[in-house]
Amino acid sequence: MAKADKDAAIAELKNEFESSNGAVLTEYRGLTVAQVQELRGNLGETARFRVVKNTLTKRAANEAGVDEQFGELLEGPSAIAFVRGDVVEAAKGLRDFAKANPMLVIKGGFIDGQSMDAKQITQLADLESREVLLAKLADAMKGSMANAAALFNALPTQAAQLAEALRAKREESGETAEAPAADAPAVDASDADDASAAEAPAAEASAE
């Protein structure tokens, strides 16, 4: 391969590393071209499966700053699934294909910047996908909103029942409100001043 072609291939792989959510390194020894195409179809939009040259990939990984995630895994016939969508869906696709086609060996890689070995990637495949989690969250939110609506609808009835219970409790305790006596004369302030003035000379006369 000419140097210009190598540089172009390295730049393309570097861009794949930098623009992907993750990369899963596999060994595809023994897989047919038809099987590789089938795997690509199974991964769909979640990952791009590429057969790579180890020497060029090592240089691209080094330039992209992800060489530590691969370490010594770049040996033998290598292919990388560059994850572009749901990482769980991509891991499921690789795991399920590897179960049906043991020639595909998951070796490790990185997801969202975190190094992962083959076992961890398989465990990732056992998680629920983003779509499933979003659906469950939507169901939970619907349930919460229904509960809130039922609570709001019940508030007026509960308030009326509480008011009635308080009224009954006060009657049992004799805490009824007493109205002012109807025949108690109202006292005008000016009358009170006149009465005080009239009583003052009488008090002085008795004192003499």
- Reported as a single tens digit per residue, the pLDDT across 145-196 is 555 455 445 545 444 555 555 565 566 666 544 444 444 444 444 444 443 4
pLDDT for residue 190: 42
- Name the stretches of the chain with pLDDT < 70: 71, 128-208
Which is nearest to 49 in space by CA: 74, 9, 78?
78
pLDDT for residue 72: 75
pLDDT for residue 5: 86
pLDDT for residue 123: 86
CA distances from 82 to 42, 47, 51, 70, 152 (A): 14, 5, 11, 13, 50
pLDDT for residue 198: 39
Token digits for 71? 């370490």
pLDDT for residue 137: 47
